[in-house]
Amino acid sequence: MQDPAHTRWLEQMIERGWIDRFKHSPPHYDRIEYHSVWNGRIYSGRCTLGDYPWSDASTPGHHCFLIGAALPVGVGPRVWRMAKGSE
């Protein structure tokens, strides 16, 4: 069960134009910005997922783990958008 605070945070981010990772996967060859809740903390980053080996999705804390992996353990709501300046 998801924390109500995480649910509110996710709804607010979607209202601001961010994309829910559970509904839409980020592109692999375009630069993105993301926020991911993992172990009760928000992690943010900017990356191009295709720049990393897909095996990094099993490395806790890595970009591919936080935003790329389908259902990593301990990761809550995640949002992403195209990085500013990369359109």
pLDDT digits (tens, 9 = 90+) for 4-52: 888 999 999 999 999 999 999 999 999 999 999 988 899 999 999 999 9
Q: Could you report the per-residue pLDDT of 56-73, keeping only the tens digit for each?
A: 988 988 999 899 887 767
Q: Is residue 87 a part of any domain in this protein?
A: no
Q: Is residue 66 a part of any domain in this protein?
A: yes
DSSP 35-46: EEEETTEEEEEE
Q: Is residue 67 a part of any domain in this protein?
A: yes
Q: Is residue 72 a part of any domain in this protein?
A: yes
Q: Is residue 13 a part of any domain in this protein?
A: yes
Residue 54 dihedral angles phi and psi, to the nearest 5°: -65, -20
What is the model's pTM? 0.88
Q: Is residue 10 a part of any domain in this protein?
A: yes
Give the domain range for residue 31.
4-82
Burial of 17 (0-12, 13-18, 19+ CB in 10 A): exposed
Q: How many domains does the chain have?
A: 1
Q: Is residue 62 a part of any domain in this protein?
A: yes
Indicate the SS3 state at residue 8: helix
